[in-house]
Amino acid sequence: MSRGFWLYGALIVAIQGLVACGSNPVAENTAQAQETAKVQKYDRLVVAFGDSLYAGYRLAPNEGLAPQLQAALQADGINARVHNAGVSGDTTAAGKTRLAFVLDNLERKPDLVVLGLGGNDMLRGIKPAETKANMVAMLDELKRREIPVMLTGMIAAPNLGQDYGNAFNAIFPQLAKKYDAPLYPFFLEGVVTDGALMLPDNIHPNAKGVSRVVEGLSPLVEAALKEQGDAVLEK
């Protein structure tokens, strides 16, 4: 595990930032929804389903994960809309509860869901077995609907102990293997240890930090979309 993982763990022990994210203004999601809705014609629909790290916590409408990922995909010639389904403060249990509602209210079936939850579970000390069970339920729902998925991982804070850390940190690689899903191992890799890429709370990325995340994430998203397109052509 990289040095950045452990430095991140030390930071979240001190700050406990993700737990407090439920206080984030509701306006952020509304504004981002309005921004992405401007793309009226598109070939691919990607859903970014996660917590505050996905929601665009305290960022301008065009600075969060969804709009920046959408811009990156379009810059690479993929006419995609990225739907922001991030909710600040969400646990895996909350995500499991709202997943079907989100999917049912989209304009069409998505080509890919990028799924990133678990940080708030860890900070609340929720048992890894419960986190994994909730993730399995969401992945099973996506599989039932025949919607491809990719995962972004999270890590446990060191103060939770080695046993907890080992169990929690194994969740995402295990599920990626089980469901044959692409995995971006740690959402904030290369970002959280650089103060210039973080908000003052030292737990959420600023606009430049999100850009760095997108640099690492977008190639995986593009590959997943290409694989999906190739599979359709083969049918």
Question: What does the pLDDT average to over 105-119?
Answer: 97
Phi-psi region for residue 49, left (φ > 0), alpha (ψ -120 to 50) or beta?
beta
Catalytic residue (choose from 90, 111, 204, 218): 204
Angle of helix 65-75 relative to helix 207-234, nearest 10 degrees, comes to: 60
- Domain residue extents for the chain: 3-234
Position 34 pLDDT exceeds 90: no
Identity at 121, one-letter amino acid code:
D
Query: How many whole angstroms separate alpha carbon 128 and alpha carbon 164?
Result: 7
Q: Does residue 45 surpass a pLDDT of 70?
A: yes
pLDDT grade, residue 23 (50/70/90)?
very low
Whole-number CA gyration radius for the chain: 17
**Band (11; pLDDT cuts 50, 70, 90):** low
127 band by pLDDT with thresholds 50, 70 and 90: very high
Q: Is the pLDDT of residue 36 over 70?
A: no
Residue 18 falls in which region: left (phi positive, over 0), alpha (psi -120 to 50) or beta? alpha
CATH 3.40.50.1110 corresponds to the domain 3-234: yes
Residue 145 confidence class, pLDDT cut points 50, 70, 90: very high
User: What mean pLDDT comes out for the span 181-207?
Assistant: 95
Kindly report, residue by residue over 89-109, the tens digit of the pLDDT: 999 999 999 999 999 999 999
Catalytic residue among 51, 52, 88, 90: 52
Residue in 91, 109, 94, 102 with CA at minimum distance from that of residue 29: 102
Q: Per the structure block, which two tokens stand in for 99?
A: 């997943």
43 catalytic? Reply is: no
2 catalytically annotated: no
End-to-end CA distance of the chain: 40
The pTM of this model reads 0.85
pLDDT at site 211 = 98
Question: Both tokens of residue 117?
Answer: 């939850």
Let me know if 52 is a catalytic residue.
yes
